[in-house]
């Protein structure tokens, strides 16, 4: 009797398991998309739609004001490749990203490693170093303008005290270095992210390396950096995107978003040119085309970084989707 019951139950149990197995991925996917739905809806409403609208604008000669707008096809896109100012601003932006992204990440990592040591007052030091990262960019830029003013700034005050001649910091070519300093000033953000990554590294691994006779440098390069590589990748992608869209030179030069025309040529980055095209030249069509090109460039750069990172980034936990 009992064996009969068992025989009856077994196929039923087997059917439920098979259905579960089929439904599980669907349920997981549904849950995933349900969770991301609010963001997705916002993305469609606030990003995809404006993106489409900007694309349409990029095919016109709109000045944003006049009712007389003409369809010009891809004329604006063609102009981008012939506009020396656009091309030079793009090159400057690339250089800006190449310099500031690695510098910020390295500075943040260095500070994180130092402040991960058991030193006195490290909580205070962490807070002090992180503080500039929470200062609003406009405030930071205005402060830098005051510090680096030629005649009344503290930087030249110190130089004068040392008997050196004052430097005109806020114009070409020196303004570029002030901009780099301004970006590096906020490296506390990178430090916090790296610090979180460092604290996630299992202590046993480092102790085992120590027992095996590894030096600190060996532990750093063979254990810490590989284990931090996903965190570094995150910072690289975000840093590149942020630097390609940077408005910092504008704030540094004029303290407001209306002064795109006053930015020195050394700091005349791509987004400053976009802003000048929109709000000084009123060339909404051309500026929209420039933004679409930037969008494409960001996508391309991000894809390249992700592709390259597949060989250099080490995950302690296999990322989902990878067999």
Partner 1 sequence: MTTPTPGLSRRRFLALTGAAAGGAFAVGCSPASSTNTPAAAAGTSSSAKGAVTVMSQSGEFGPKEAKAASQALGLTVKTVEYDLTKLTAMLASGNPPDVVRGMGATDTAYLAAREVAVDLDPYFAKSTLIKADDIDPVNDLWRFDGQKQGAGPRYGFAKDYSQDAMLWYNSALFDAAKVPHPNSAEPLSFDELLDLGRRLTKRQGAKVSAYGLNANGLSLFVTLCGMTASAGGKVLADDLASVDLTSPEALRAITWYLDYAKAGIGPTVLNPDPNGWDGPTFQAGRMAIATDGYWFGGLFGGDAKNAKLAHLLPAPQFGTGTRISPCYGATGLWMPKAGKNKDAAWAVMEWFLAGDPAKARAAGGWGIPPLKSLQKLMPQTQPFQKEAYQVQQAEQKYFSVMTFTPYVRLDAIDAIVGRELPKAIKGTTSAAQFADTLTTQINAQLADGKKRLR
Helix or strand or coil: residue 287? helix
Q: Which of 109, 112, 276, 313 binds partner 1 (CB under 8 A)?
A: 276
In whole angstroms, give the CA distance from residue 247 to residue 251.
7
Residues facing 60 on adjacent strands: 71
User: Does 262 contact partner 1 by CB under 8 A?
Assistant: yes
Contact 131, 277 (CB under 8 A): no
Report how far apart, in Å, the C-alpha atoms of 158 and of each of 149, 154, 163, 195, 274 are: 12, 6, 9, 33, 37
User: Does 177 contact partner 1 by CB under 8 A?
Assistant: no
User: What mask of x and - would describe binding to partner 1 in positions 219 to 238, judged by CB under 8 A?
Assistant: ------------------xx
Least separation, in Å, of the C-beta of 298 and partner 1? 4
Footprint of partner 1 on 98-157 (CB under 8 A): 145-146, 149-153, 156
Contact 175, 252 (CB under 8 A): yes
Cβ closest to partner 1, residue 107 vs residue 276: 276
Of the ranges 12-20, 87-95, 218-226, 286-294, which one interacts with partner 1 (CB under 8 A)?
286-294
Report how far apart, in Å, the C-alpha atoms of 143 and of each of 34, 171, 208, 217 are: 45, 16, 47, 38
User: Does 80 contact partner 1 by CB under 8 A?
Assistant: no
User: Does 176 contact partner 1 by CB under 8 A?
Assistant: no
DSSP structure string for 144-166:
HHHHT-TTT-HHHHHHHHTTPPP
User: Does 303 contact partner 1 by CB under 8 A?
Assistant: yes
Footprint of partner 1 on 23-62 (CB under 8 A): 25, 28-29, 32, 43, 46-48, 50-51, 53-55, 57, 60-62
User: Does 64 contact partner 1 by CB under 8 A?
Assistant: yes
Cβ closest to partner 1, residue 54 vs residue 114: 54
The residue count for binding partner 1 (CB under 8 A) is: 86
In whole angstroms, give the CA distance from residue 135 to residue 188.
11
């Amino acid at each position: 009797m009992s064996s009969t019951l068992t025989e009856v139950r077994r196929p039923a149990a087997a059917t439920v398991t098979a259905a579960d197995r089929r439904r599980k991925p669907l349920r997981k996917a549904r849950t995933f998309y349900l969770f991301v739905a609010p963001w997705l809806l916002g993305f469609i409403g606030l990003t995809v739609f404006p993106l489409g609208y900007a694309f349409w604008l990029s095919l016109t000669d709109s000045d944003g004001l006049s009712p007389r707008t003409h369809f010009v096809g891809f004329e604006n896109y063609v102009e981008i490749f012939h506009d020396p100012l656009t091309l030079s601003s793009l090159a400057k932006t690339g250089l800006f990203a190449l310099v500031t992204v690695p510098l910020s990440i390295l500075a943040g990592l260095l500070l994180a490693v130092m402040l991960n040591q058991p030193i006195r007052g490290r909580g205070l030091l962490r807070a002090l170093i992180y503080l500039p990262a929470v200062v609003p960019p406009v405030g930071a830029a205005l402060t830098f303008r005051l510090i680096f003013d030629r005649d009344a700034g503290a930087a030249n005050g110190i130089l004068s005290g040392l008997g050196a001649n004052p430097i005109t910091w806020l114009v070409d070519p020196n303004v570029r270095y002030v901009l780099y300093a301004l970006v590096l000033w906020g490296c506390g953000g990178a430090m916090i992210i790296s610090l979180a990554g460092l604290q996630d590294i299992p202590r046993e691994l480092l102790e085992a390396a120590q027992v095996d006779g590894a030096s600190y440098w060996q532990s750093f390069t063979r254990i810490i950096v590989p284990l931090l590589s996903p965190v570094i990748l995150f910072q690289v992608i975000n840093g590149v995107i942020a630097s390609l869209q940077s408005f910092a030179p504008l704030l540094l030069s004029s303290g407001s978003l209306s002064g795109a025309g006053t930015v020195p040529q050394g700091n005349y980055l791509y987004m400053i040119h976009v802003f000048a095209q929109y709000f000084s030249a009123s060339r909404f069509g051309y500026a929209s085309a420039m933004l679409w090109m930037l969008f494409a460039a960001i996508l391309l750069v991000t894809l390249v970084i992700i592709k390259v990172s597949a060989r250099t980034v080490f995950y302690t936990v296999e990322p989902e989707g990878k067999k």
